[in-house]
Structure 1
């Protein structure tokens, strides 16, 4: 790896860590960067996932104030994220490397529509909720999002925020904090699977880890100061951009 490549990957890590803390599409920065330098898709995906995990943790730490009082729901939905992350990681290692390209843009665009409609859908859901925090349907949605995150990971935060905005009775900043925790669980458990049974480029993973850790702390400071409407539009713009990149690639 030459110095220019190392700087580019490290810078992509910083940007992805910041985006993940605020929204959750940072992989759409690092993954294409690795492909541009000639890394095979599965190796790039695996090494990127491992590198993103420290950034997820730093973003979670940056939002620690908004996590107060959320332990019960984090334990409940954390189990769904952990299970989904394991399944998704195993699917990545078993299925063809390009399978996700036809599915991911549809998932992301659907999530963007849900985020745009979130205020109206949230009012509708609250009128009809049988239990707090969405019950079984939300747990299943978090499980499926965890599977997706373990498989590829780009914009899993967009999907989670769309689900939370509809089903969970809380403000956007606290939901964003919960999103960071669940994304950390998914990436963490997937990283364990990849380290155990797959090849990893540790130089790439280390550069992304260092960059994403710094970016996660920076992103959490920016994200906390965004009003709910601005945060919602940031999610939509990043999610739509991610879909376009996936379609044209």
Structure 2
């Protein structure tokens, strides 16, 4: 790795950390950067996953005000994220690299539609819900589990999917849903990272640690900056940002 390559990875880490905190899909910056610099796709994916963990921590900390009162909810949903992440990470190491090539763009597209219609759909569901569940109920848990599987496998745009589901299933504001999304995404990345590190010790996974370090440094800074910006964005504008980032993600994945 030369100086220019290192600077590119560091800059990508800053951008990814910020985007992940505000919306999600920061991996669509760091992962392609690593691949473009010559890293094998699976190595790039694993190294990227581990490197983004510190950014998830700083992003969640930046949203600590919005996280107040969500402890029990996050413990319940976090168990789904944890289990899903381990399944997804195992699939990454056991399935062909192209396994989710068709599913991923479709999943992001569905999530964007859900984000756009979320206010009306949420109102409709609340009006017909006989017993309101403060944690979203069993279907949200299953949805978070499935998103964790996807996040453990690849991770890009899992935040978009999560915020769409949380925004619809929870009777809460979009910023509080975004705060919960940051925690759950961090659980997915952190759980998968621990598995990857463990497997690397026994020679079952390859990790490029210099790339991990640079992404981690950048993502840590990006997470702090993203929280400062994201918490001040009005819900309507935040929805617009989510849609724009999601569309860009689909275009990049279909290339």
For Structure 1 versus Structure 2, the TM-score category normalised by the shorter chain is over 0.9
Question: 1:43 deviation in Å?
Answer: 0.3
SS of match in other structure, 2:120? helix
Question: 1:134 deviation in Å?
Answer: 2.3
TM-score of the two chains, using structure 1 as the length reference: 0.98
Mapped contact 2:59–2:226 kept (Cα < 8 A) = yes
Q: Identify the residue that residue 204 of structure 1 maps to in structure 2.
A: 211
Number of residue equivalences: 248
Correspondence for 1:153 among 152, 155, 172 = 155
Q: Identify the residue that residue 202 of structure 2 maps to in structure 1.
A: none
Give CA-to-partner distance per residue, 1:26-67, whole Å, 9 cap, x none: 000001101110111100000000000000001001111111
Out of 98-107 and 64-73, give the one that drifted further: 98-107
Correspondence for 1:139 among 138, 141, 144 = 141
TM-score of the two chains, using structure 2 as the length reference: 0.96
Question: 1:97 deviation in Å?
Answer: 1.1
Give CA-to-partner distance per residue, 1:111-167, whole Å, 9 cap, x none: 001101111111112123343132011110000001110010001010001101111
Structure 2 residue 9 is the aligned partner of structure 1 residue 9: yes
Gaps of 5+ in 2: 200-204
Gaps of 5+ in 1: none
Structure 2: how far apart are the matches of 1:148 and 1:21? 18
Structure 1: how far apart are the matches of 2:157 and 2:218? 19
Q: Identify the residue that residue 93 of structure 1 maps to in structure 2.
A: 93
SS of match in other structure, 1:100? coil
Q: Identify the residue that residue 187 of structure 2 maps to in structure 1.
A: 185
Structure 1: how far apart are the matches of 2:78 and 2:127? 26
Q: Identify the residue that residue 56 of structure 1 maps to in structure 2.
A: 56
SS of match in other structure, 2:52? helix
Structure 1: how far apart are the matches of 2:132 and 2:116? 24
Task: Considering fraction of residues, name the structure with more helix.
Answer: 1
Moved over 4 A (4+): none
Question: 1:99 deviation in Å?
Answer: 1.5
Out of 161-170 and 127-136, give the one that drifted further: 127-136
SS of match in other structure, 2:180? helix
Q: Identify the residue that residue 214 of structure 1 maps to in structure 2.
A: 221
Correspondence for 2:252 among 228, 232, 245 = 245
Q: Identify the residue that residue 78 of structure 1 maps to in structure 2.
A: 78
Q: Identify the residue that residue 45 of structure 1 maps to in structure 2.
A: 45
Structure 2: how far apart are the matches of 1:242 and 1:21? 16
Mapped contact 2:126–2:132 kept (Cα < 8 A) = no
Structure 2: how far apart are the matches of 1:147 and 1:127? 31
SS of match in other structure, 2:101? helix
